[in-house]
Amino acid sequence: GESVGLHLPTLSVQEGDNSIINCAYSNSASDYFIWYKQESGKGPQFIIDIRSNMDKRQGQRVTVLLNKTVKHLSLQIAATQPGDSAVYFCAESKAAGNKLTFGGGTRVLVKP
């Protein structure tokens, strides 16, 4: 069935270092992948998305990598800041705008 899972439930990172959050997905029919950040008491906040016809996409301090061969998605955060402390979710769908299937989330803790 469809499932999206995360390798690491908690990631501790030193302020200024780079963070890498990983995600595995199982539905080979998925065409759209997205990362959300969720801070305590708030809803998921869009970070970056990527379609299956790409393997890399960059935003401001963030990069998403997609490896369709092994069904793996990652989010890289450059120069991690205290404000990056949050839970990060990957999600996938057959197309943007279709229902999203979320992963379980990874908590990122930034140490000063």
Partner 1 sequence: EPEVTQTPSHQVTQMGQEVILRCVPISNHLYFYWYRQILGQKVEFLVSFYNNEISEKSEIFDDQFSVERPDGSNFTLKIRSTKLEDSAMYFCASTGQGNSPLHFGNGTRLTVT
Closer of 28 and 40 to partner 1 (Cβ) = 40
- 29 near partner 1 (CB under 8 A): no
- 94 near partner 1 (CB under 8 A): no
Closer of 43 and 112 to partner 1 (Cβ) = 43
Q: How far is the CB of 41 from partner 1 (least distance, A)?
A: 7
DSSP the chain: ---EEES-SEEEEETTS-EEEEEEE--TT--EEEEEEE-TTS--EEEEEEETT-SEEE-SSEEEEEETTTTEEEEEESS--GGG-EEEEEEEESSTTSPPEE---EEEEEE-
Q: Which of 13, 64, 88, 103 lies at the binding interface for partner 1 (CB under 8 A)?
A: 103
- 108 near partner 1 (CB under 8 A): no
11 touches 108 (CB < 8 A): yes
Judged by CB under 8 A, the number of residues near partner 1 is 22
CA 32 to chain centre: 12
Stretch that binds partner 1, among 14-22, 37-45, 56-64, 78-86 (CB under 8 A): 37-45
Residues of this chain that bind partner 1 (CB under 8 A): 34, 36, 41-46, 49, 89, 91, 95-105
